[in-house]
Chains A and B, each alone.
Chain A
Amino acid sequence: MSDYLKPLPPITNLSKPYWDSLQEGALRMPQCQACSLIFYPPAPLCPGCWSRDLTWAALSGRGTVNSWVVFHQAYLKGYDNEVPFNVTEVTLDEGPRLMTNLVGIDNDDIRVDMPVQVVFDAVTDEVTLAKFAPLPGWSPEGGTP
């Protein structure tokens, strides 16, 4: 029995390979074999060309911060002791964006366009979440060396 109280993702046939990849310590997203588009969230066909010839591509896990917010109000179960916490939108180097939390950084130090990389947070035995941390060596004042 897990003591993790926060909402867990609805895992469907369509999204299961994504969640499985995180369990395995990789970040995989759907890629169209016909036009090469990598897209998220998963869909039954390629939104670029309607091909159904899809595969799961391993991504670099690198990206940049597109935007972020800091919640000062706990709306959800499990967040009462966490406010203020950040929710960050990361643009992956391969194109798709992911909603996530940045870890290993003060909220005041988050910047648009800062480089980040994925870290895997096994929140329960069944579910691992993709979170992101600043690229080693990055600082809010100096950027990346």
Chain B
Amino acid sequence: MSIDRSYQASFNENNQEFVIAGKLRPQSEDEMRPLAEALTNSLAQVRGTFYLNVKRLARLNNVAFRAITNLVSQVCDTRPELRIEVVTSSVMGWSTRKFLPLAERLPNVTVNEYDNDFYPGQSFLEEGGFIPILRNQTKLTWRHERHLLPRHGLKPGMTVADICCGIGDFAVLVQKELKPSHILALDHSRTSLDYARKVAAEFGIADIEYVYGDASEMVIEDNQFDFVTCRHSLQIFDRPELILKELYRICKPGGRVYITNEKNSHCLGEPRGESIQWTYTEVAKLFADFKMDVELGPKSRRYLADAGFEDILVDSFMVTNGDGDPQDFANMIQAWENVFAGEMARDRGDSPEFIARFRQGFQDQIYAALHPKGYAGWPIWAASARKPT
């Protein structure tokens, strides 16, 4: 008989959190003994609330479930003051439904499904209202990235993952023009994924799998993809290193991870450069208040190096009003203004005077973009690196 040890368990004393990840399908309770001992020892160390985190537990059979819940029941009987919170994930599909009856039986157990609350500030960017911004951005950046991607190692026939795919338009462009064998596109916004699937269906594209998932804790197995992309996303997570760790994990050894990020304070335009610069410096501060670093672009090399990658290649390019129709550029700025100086500034509690000045910078950049002698720019840093073999 072989025992499958394809699970990982760890305890973090500071968070009073016991994390079980991977797969738990034992044949007998005996196989659960090491995990049960670790869980018992961890429970003995905590007071107040104990977190049992099963967000990344992809598979669990009844033998394992009963072993875990028997142990939890015993502790609840002997320590009625202890609260136990089971943290599940909507990504797994089964886990909330499986653990909820435990909370119904034991008054000191609660089940909390991990969702958007864990990413404060993300709701601005995951709501359907952001779709016009994303569409415009991809249209403008693709002019540059279609040439950059092969330079960063993307070749026809490769297996590609596009993590934080948003509305999936980048994946569609990659599929159409650069001919990978297969693309898996993952995002944590159901609204965006619904849109992505609709667009793919309308264009008859069948080689892209759009899947729901959390980029910082993906259900995807290790070493799966030749080329992993993650665009404009590290900058809007409060802990980008967690996502990079996952990008590294799912990338094949020898494969490459490609990331793009901005440095918003470097957005520019002429005429009216001073007003534009002031507004974009404030954009960076606004995002920082929501725990997002839209200045991350030039830090890409450091992040990739710290994540364990090698052969790091960093490029930068400027999307400008000269990239096709200047109105497209102007539309993108208008969409930014609507969200940044609208809902976000209001939620931060900015004064009407501040918001008026803040809006003016966007309007001045639109003026620069549409001016016959004007110039307006949005700088992007594109970086990639190889996972060591």
Partners in one complex: no
Interface set of B (CB-CB < 8 Å, partner A): none
